[in-house]
């Protein structure tokens, strides 16, 4: 028996990195998973897996979220789990960030999870049960030189707490995960040199970079009924880096 048997889960950014790892683990544990992403080519690949349905979503669009939530509910009868994982990152220096950079970052990383919760919670409330997991970042806690990215992830942190109080009485749990540096296409695309990554490993108490499965396992716990009394919680998964 799987930990997510008969559950319907939406995972945003499900076509790459951490999201892809969650999609695979959730399916393995018995869920029907909707991998929702803006990257259609990657979605086609994801849809070839059993019990995975790739649907196009732009998390920064209210309308796109409204359509997706309705489509999932019409097709599968309910929505049990939402993982707000899609995101972009940037290392742009403080003085170079312009209004457009800020709006883009905050609309994908900040408005995205907000709109996801706004459109999915009515369906969860209808069955008086649901689990939402928002992916923030250790940079919401220690900055780490990621300026508007850190700000966007700080908004996810605060919004998760607010949503846990807003939706608790409808049986909906909301928790947040704070990954450290995880080896995914996102970190490969950063200008961060191998040398810097090596130094980060040295500075990490557990002496390694994170893997997507490290985050997926924590998301599985929060998605499953094993965590049925946990809401408003924050779990840092960074090998002890931000504890120093």
Q: Is 120 in the site for ligand NAD (CB under 6 A)?
A: no
- Binding to ligand NAD in span 35-94, by CB under 6 A: 37-39, 42, 57-60, 85-89
Distance CA 94, CA 176 (A): 26
Tell me the Ramachandran region of residue 205: left when phi exceeds 0, alpha when psi lies from -120 to 50, beta otherwise. alpha
The residue ranges of DSSP E strands in the chain, in sequence order, are 8-12, 32-37, 52-56, 81-84, 130-135, 172-179, 234-237
Which token pair is 24?
A: 């695979």
Exposure string over 103-129, b if 16+ CB within 10 A, otherwise e: ebbbbbbbbbbbbbbebbbebbeeeee
Q: Is 16 in the site for ligand NAD (CB under 6 A)?
A: yes
Residue from 53, 138, 149, 229 carrying the catalytic annotation: 149
Kindly tell me which residue out of 18, 34, 46, 81 binds ligand NAD, with binding defined by CB under 6 A. 18
Rounded to the nearest whole angstrom, what is the least distance from the CB of residue 170 to ligand NAD in the complex?
Answer: 25
Distance CA 126, CA 10 (A): 17
Which token pair is 22?
A: 């969650």
- Binding to ligand NAD in span 195-234, by CB under 6 A: none
Q: Is 135 in the site for ligand NAD (CB under 6 A)?
A: yes
Beta carbons of 136 and 153 less than 8 angstroms apart:
yes
Rounded to the nearest whole angstrom, what is the least distance from the CB of residue 9 to ligand NAD in the complex?
Answer: 16
Nearer to ligand NAD, 184 or 204 (CB): 184
Rounded to the nearest whole angstrom, what is the least distance from the CB of residue 180 to ligand NAD in the complex?
Answer: 6
Q: Is 138 a catalytic residue?
A: no
Which residues here bind ligand NAD, judged by CB under 6 A? 12-13, 15-19, 37-39, 42, 57-60, 85-89, 108, 135, 137, 179, 181-182, 184-187
As annotated, the active-site residues are 149
């Amino acid at each position: 028996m799987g930990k997510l048997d008969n559950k319907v889960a939406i995972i945003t950014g499900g076509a790459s990195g951490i999201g892809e790892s969650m999609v695979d683990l959730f399916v393995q544990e018995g869920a029907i998973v909707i991998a929702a992403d803006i990257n259609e080519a990657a979605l086609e690949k994801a849809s070839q897996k059993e019990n995975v349905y790739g649907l196009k979503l732009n998390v920064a669009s209210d309308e796109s979220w409204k359509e997706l939530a309705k489509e999932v509910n019409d097709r599968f009868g309910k929505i049990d789990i939402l993982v707000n994982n899609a995101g972009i990152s940037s290392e742009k220096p403080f003085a170079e960030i312009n209004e457009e950079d800020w709006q883009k970052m905050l609309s994908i990383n900040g408005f995205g999870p907000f709109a996801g919760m706004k459109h999915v919670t009515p369906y969860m409330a209808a069955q008086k049960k649901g689990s939402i997991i928002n992916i923030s970042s250790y940079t919401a806690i220690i900055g780490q030189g990621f300026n508007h990215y850190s700000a966007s992830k700080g908004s996810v942190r605060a919004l998760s707490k607010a949503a846990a109080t807003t939706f608790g009485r409808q049986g909906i749990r909301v928790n947040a995960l704070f990954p450290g540096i995880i080896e995914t296409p996102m970190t490969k695309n950063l200008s961060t040199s191998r040398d810097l990554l090596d130094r980060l490993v040295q500075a990490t108490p557990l002496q390694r970079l994170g893997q997507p499965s490290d985050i997926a396992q924590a998301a599985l716990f929060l998605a499953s009924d094993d965590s049925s009394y946990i809401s408003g919680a924050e779990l840092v998964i960074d090998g002890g880096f931000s504890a120093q």
